[in-house]
Copies of this chain bind each other. A is one copy, B any other.
Amino acid sequence: MKPPVPPAEESTPEARHAARMQRKKALIDEKIEAAGQERGVLVVNTGNGKGKSSSGFGMVARALGHGMKVGVVQFIKGHTETGEEAFFRRFPDEVSFHVMGEGFTWETQDRARDVATAEAAWQQARALLRDPAIGLVLLDELNIALKQRYLDVHTVLADIAARAPYQHVVVTGRSAPPELIAAADTVTDMTLIKHAFQAGIKAQPGVEF
């Protein structure tokens, strides 16, 4: 079999690059055209690597850039004021920011108190999910509360499903339950390749919190 003869206009490296990019662009444009449905999406960031919460906060920034109002509920993380909290609290008219407020779970030794705290935080989440003025709700570290069974996954999924139309929801935290993954539109596993912590570098403000 003879090899196919390339068209004359693809005979230089520059022309081949141009032709390749042209084909790539056509393919992408076609996919964008096909993906025409507009609605609120449920995004889940899970896994052992970095970037689950920070990605959620990046989406908060994006949503604000598009003129949306945003709701944030941070589950579990509570005792240290984080950079994201200090920053987004600057915009009380645009961001409704709530922190569950009992510190990491391993700093409490009282399961009943953890459950009560998680349930109170979920009431705040539910109010945000029902509010049609809120374009994006970030439920940061919710997966930890689900994993510890502080909250019932079916109640949580029912409230998310019944949310205001066109509202986006982002759920973060390790060990996302399978029911949540099944219900989500977009799921990313942040996979740890390496972490500065392993090399003896302290958690850094602006990076880890």
Chain A interface (Cβ within 8 Å of chain B)? 14, 17-19, 21-22, 24-25, 28, 31-32, 34-41, 43, 45, 47, 49-66, 68, 82-88, 104-112, 135-136, 168, 181, 184-197, 199-207, 209
Contacts and interface: CB of A to CB of B under 8 A. Distances in A.
28 contacts: A18-B110, A21-B108, A22-B106, A25-B107, A28-B104, A34-B200, A35-B200, A35-B202, A38-B202, A39-B201, A41-B196, A41-B204, A51-B58, A51-B188, A56-B58, A58-B59, A58-B84, A60-B61, A62-B206, A62-B209, A65-B84, A66-B205, A66-B206, A136-B206, A168-B207, A186-B195, A188-B190, A188-B192
A167 B25 CA distance: 37
> How often does this chain occur in the complex, in copies?
2
A186 to B, nearest CB: 5
Contacts of A53: 58
A8 B190 CA distance: 41
Given A57-B62, A58-B84, A65-B82, 18 more contacts: A17-B111, A25-B104, A32-B203, A35-B203, A36-B200, A36-B202, A38-B201, A41-B204, A43-B207, A54-B59, A55-B58, A59-B207, A61-B84, A65-B85, A65-B206, A185-B201, A186-B197, A189-B191
A21 B106 contact: yes
A193 B181 contact: yes
A200 B185 CA distance: 10
A50 B193 contact: no
Contacts of A199: 37, 185
A111 B14 contact: yes
